[in-house]
Amino acid sequence: MRRLHELKPGTKAIVSDIEGNSALRKKLLGMGLTKGAKLKIVRNAPLKDPMEIEVRGYNLSLRKAEAENVIVEVKEE
């Protein structure tokens, strides 16, 4: 089990759980980061943060501090 913010571009993973305060959780869940959702790390910003991921057919950018709350299972690095 790893956390989303650690993953490198190109990695494919599946969402396992979302931690954190309820407001952030609700937002992350609403944006499609639910248990079992497949995602792929696209890139990091030039300054290393935020990161861009592909999930549920669209591209989402989020800060590593936010991504830290997403627990994932890595499928392919």
Interaction site with another protein (CB under 8 A): 17-18, 22-32, 34-37, 43, 45-50, 52, 56-63, 66
> Which amino acid is residue 3, in one-letter code?
R
Nearer to another protein, 13 or 66 (CB): 66
Minimum distance from residue 58 beta carbon to another protein (Å): 5
Least separation, in Å, of the C-beta of 16 and another protein?
11
Peptide bond into 50 cis (omega under 30): yes
